[in-house]
Amino acid sequence: GRAVPPLAALSWVLRLERSRRTGIVFPLQKLERYLSPGTDTARFRLFQPGLAALQRAEALFRSDRGHPIDYVSSAVRMDHAPPPALPEVCFIGRSNVGKSSLIRALFSLAPEVEVRVSKSPGHTKKMNFFKVGKYFTLVDMPGYGYRAPQDFVEMVEAYLQERRNLKRTFLLVDGVVGLQKTDHIAVEMLEEFGIPYVMVLTKIDRASRGVLLKNVLEIQEFVKENTQGCFPQLFLVSSVEFSGVHLLRCFVAHVTGNLPAVEAS
């Protein structure tokens, strides 16, 4: 397998000086200090696990002999999907939003896991299923574009509407460019289906602080005013610097029912 990048592991991040550490573990909190006084930041800290929970979640994403993390299968239709035996999360987003990079970052402590990409035009777009021990499954949904083919739309819609074990959908939005037309279409679909979802802002290392702040505030306002099913706290990630990746692992562990301590609080 590949080498594990140091920042993929909390033990490394904890060795950094405080401000950098906060930026990596809680990137949204790091932004807080640059907001004008009086800005409502209650939504910045709705999910704020302690170190024990972060470590527990990390253990789930670290494979070993007794805890395999594997690519299971791909499916183009719902009847090809593996049985809905475990709690499941899925990741969706526009092509190029950084979805495969993020899934690779999440699984970076299990370097044997291969996150496949099928990007070449004309290549069949599939749902890829990953199994994390006996705890949960993670689905990499095919990236969508503005003019998505009908069979693709039908596959994604069928999955989101029918998948009984789906606990949460992670909608990835590019942190540099903010919400695009196709993202709004995805939001409308998720709202129409009435399923719970979370927005994840990607590539935050690439956005200037000003751009990032603008996008975060705009999207937060949009979520507040226009959505029912979206978790009010945004998740910010960089797959290059591993910012937000540890927190996201923890949230995945939480929504799949694998973090009883956080659930109780």
Interaction site with ligand GDP (CB under 6 A): 93, 95-101, 143, 202-203, 205-206, 238-240
264, containing H or E segment: helix 260-264
Q: Which is nearer to ligand GDP, 103 or 132 (CB)?
A: 103
248 CB burial (10 A radius; 0-12, 13-18, 19+): buried
Task: Name which of 258, 255, 241, 256 is nearest 47 in CA terms.
Answer: 255
Quickly tell me which residue has 């470590």 as its tokens: 55
Minimum Å distance from CB 204 to ligand GDP? 7
27: which residues sit within 8 A by CB, 6+ positions away? 204, 236, 237, 238, 243, 244, 247
Minimum Å distance from CB 77 to ligand GDP? 21
Minimum Å distance from CB 205 to ligand GDP? 5
Minimum Å distance from CB 151 to ligand GDP? 19
Q: Which is nearer to ligand GDP, 44 or 144 (CB)?
A: 144
CA dist., res. 130 & res. 141, Å (int): 11
Minimum Å distance from CB 237 to ligand GDP? 6
Which two structure tokens, joined as six digits, stand for 184?
Answer: 């709004």
CA dist., res. 3 & res. 17, Å (int): 24
Q: Which is nearer to ligand GDP, 101 or 258 (CB)?
A: 101
Q: Which is nearer to ligand GDP, 123 or 224 (CB)?
A: 123
Q: Which is nearer to ligand GDP, 41 or 96 (CB)?
A: 96
